[in-house]
Amino acid sequence: MKAYIYPNLDKNNCAEYTHEACTILSRSSVELLMDSAYQSIFGSLDLLDYKTHEECIADCDVVIVIGGDGTILKCAEAAARKKKPILGINCGRLGFMASLEHEDLELLSGLKNRKYTVSPRMMLSVKTSDGITYNALNDIVVSKADDCKIADFKVSKGGTTISYLRADGVIFSTATGSTAYSMSAGGPIIEPETRCIEFTQMCAHSLFARSMILLPDSEINVLLHCAEGSHAIVNVDGNNIARITDKAEITITSSDLTLDILDLKGDSFFGSVNEKLMQPLKGSTGEILK
């Protein structure tokens, strides 16, 4: 088995976790790949074979991401395109997609013997008005820009209007993304293997704004209305990919891509809900400000 080690050194303790993870995996005779960009940092580890990011994705059997959910999002599309599963090790704060915490690293010894479950995750696709298509694991957000005081959004499914609203924006998320921005905007938590598209309104000017759960084969069109000279932003998995103007339209569907997330513990999602949403976060604001 070959594992591509993908660390995010901006995260606290990531270098330490990476060393420990590599040592444990090497004891289990797992071959380790890493992007050559990190060779100057981890060169003392003679366990690693350095290649380009693209070569590592192509050659590996599994991508081991050491960071947080944002780090998983960074390599999700590339892994999905090559049909390579991802195993996450959390050294961020929430870490819903990462199945392992630091205290769980010894479980990596069971990776080669396939002591894990596979969680297939649906992805979304968005086509902007210029015809470019992007894929998302978590969510697609259309929100008014700083130069836009008021924005109206017409949301249609299959040619039928399902919502016409004045709001700060609209969120379309997968079940995986239901615990991200959508949840913060009042959307429900959805078990991550569920195939659906969640539609959540952001600060809608309405007493009756509620999330909707749409079928996975839905084709959703969003038409923007805003003042001349103002804009809205299209955001895919936290990345701003387009600025759109009045009467611009985008189309959202399920993606042809699916990403497999590996779970070595067996209770990662509901354990995260209970432990991380019902209790103060690691590195809470109070601790950060001390």
Residues 6+ apart with CB under 8 A from 109: 24, 25, 27, 28
What region does 175 belong to: left with phi over 0, alpha with psi -120 to 50, or beta? alpha
What order do you get walking across the sheet with 139-144 strand by strand?
A: 212-214, 197-202, 169-173, 139-144, 232-236, 239-244
45 phi and psi, to 5 degrees? Answer: -85, 105
Q: What's the rounded Cα separation, in Å, for the pair 72 and 68? A: 7
Told to judge if 146 belongs to the known catalytic residues of this protein, a careful annotator would answer no
CA-nearest of 237, 53, 218, 63 to 135 is 237
Per the residue annotation, which of 69, 139, 237, 263 is the catalytic one? 69
Is the CB of residue 263 less than 8 Å from the CB of residue 119? yes
C-alpha 183/C-alpha 271 separation (Å) is 17
Handedness of CA 101, 106, 108, 114 (dihedral sign): negative
DSSP 58: H
Query: CA of 219: how far to CAs of 95, 184, 250, 253, 255, in Å?
Result: 30, 25, 10, 5, 11
* Helix, strand, coil shares, percent, the chain, to 5: 25, 40, 35
Which positions are catalytic? 69
